[in-house]
Amino acid sequence: MALPATRQSTEQIHRLLRGDILAAVLRPGEAMSEAGMAVRFGVSRTPVREAFKRLVEEGFLLVVPQVGTFVAPIDLVAVHDSQFVRETLECRTVALAARHADDAGKAALEQHMRQQERDLATGDRTAFFQHDDAFHAELARLSGHPSVWSLIESVKAQLDRVRCLSLESAAWPGMILAQHREITHCVLTGDETRAEAAMRAHLRTVFDAIEAIARDQVNAFAGTASPARLD
């Protein structure tokens, strides 16, 4: 994909590379080069260098002096911190959604479920990931606090890297869908207590994902953190 050689190129290159890292198109530990990316985007090395600098500052690229630039491993501390934010906020919002959802809201939630079912049937992992987020955003809307999802989005980048890698497992999307069905059932029936418990169990599956990914990709993660930090 070639981009016009303008100041906007840096913004576009940053956005595209960041998206590729979050979606695991660019894998942890993968080598990156300014020259290679300049060819890919059809620009000089200057906007690529500026985009790389931003990605380094954000923790997505790692520069090893006299060796090269690599996609940074997933920061486990950041994953656990964003998980803490999600669990703290979403367990409350799903309970409120179960309390306040009206017929229109319930219909919207069921529509989200049908979309995820179609994604699973067609094997479209990218769409499934996007509609997973849309499902959680809908729950925040039904709770009466839609901006909560924007706050969560601002802190979950490293967590999203884990989520995208986990979807490569054949069994994982089906498990996530089943958990979403349980959450939906609790909201539709107005069961606040079960909705909160279902959401907590759903969000904590990230720890199982980390263990599974680490078995196959020993260099995927950096740092240490314990699930007990959430208690």
User: What was the pLDDT predicted at 227?
Assistant: 46
Question: Residue 123: which residues within 8 A CB-CB, separation 6 or more?
Answer: none
| pLDDT (tens digit per residue) in 118-140 | 999 999 999 999 999 999 999 99
As to burial, measured by CB atoms within 10 angstroms (0-12 exposed, 13-18 middle, 19+ buried), residue 80 is: buried
- pLDDT tens track for 36-80: 999 999 999 999 999 999 999 999 999 999 999 999 999 999 999
Note whether 115 and 122 are within 8 A (CB): no
Length of the chain counted residue by residue: 231
At residue 1 the predicted structure's pLDDT band, cuts being 50, 70 and 90, is low
Tell me the three state secondary structure of residue 61. Answer: strand
CA atoms 34, 214, 182, 88: torsion sign: negative
Q: Where are the domains of the chain?
A: 7-72, 75-230
pLDDT, tens only, 15-40:
999 999 999 999 999 999 999 999 99
- For the chain, percent of residues with pLDDT exceeding 90: 91
Token pair of 38 as six digits: 């300049």
Class of domain 75-230: mainly alpha
What is the SS3 assignment for 104-125?
HHHHHHHHHHHHHHHHHHHCCH
CA distance 59 to 177: 30
Secondary structure class of 60 (helix, strand, coil)? coil
* Cα–Cα distance measured from residue 132 to residue 176, given in angstroms and rounded to the nearest whole number: 9
Q: Which residues does 59 contact at the CB level (< 8 Å), separation at least 6?
A: 72, 75, 78, 158
What's the CA gap between 41 and 47, in Å, rounded?
Answer: 10
Confidence of residue 223 (pLDDT cuts 50, 70, 90): confident
Q: Are 187 and 95 in contact (CB under 8 A)?
A: no
| pLDDT at position 7 over 60 | no
d(CA 45, CA 127): 32
pLDDT tier at 3 (50, 70, 90 boundaries)?
Answer: low
Percent of residues, the chain, with pLDDT higher than 70: 93
pLDDT for the residue 85: 97
Q: What is the CA radius of gyration of the chain?
A: 19
| Predicted pLDDT at 230 | 46
Question: What band does 13 get if pLDDT is binned at 50, 70 and 90?
Answer: very high
Alpha helices, H only, 59-171? 76-100, 103-122, 125-143, 147-153, 157-166
The average confidence (pLDDT) of the chain is 93
Per-residue model confidence (pLDDT) at position 229: 47
Region 185-194: mean pLDDT is 98
Question: Over 80: is that where the pLDDT of 2 sits?
Answer: no
pTM over 0.95: no
Q: Is the pLDDT of residue 218 over 50?
A: yes
pLDDT tens per residue across span 137-152: 999 999 999 999 999 9
For 7-72, which CATH class? mainly alpha
SS3 26: coil
Task: Give the whole-angstrom CA distance, residue 53 versus residue 159.
Answer: 22
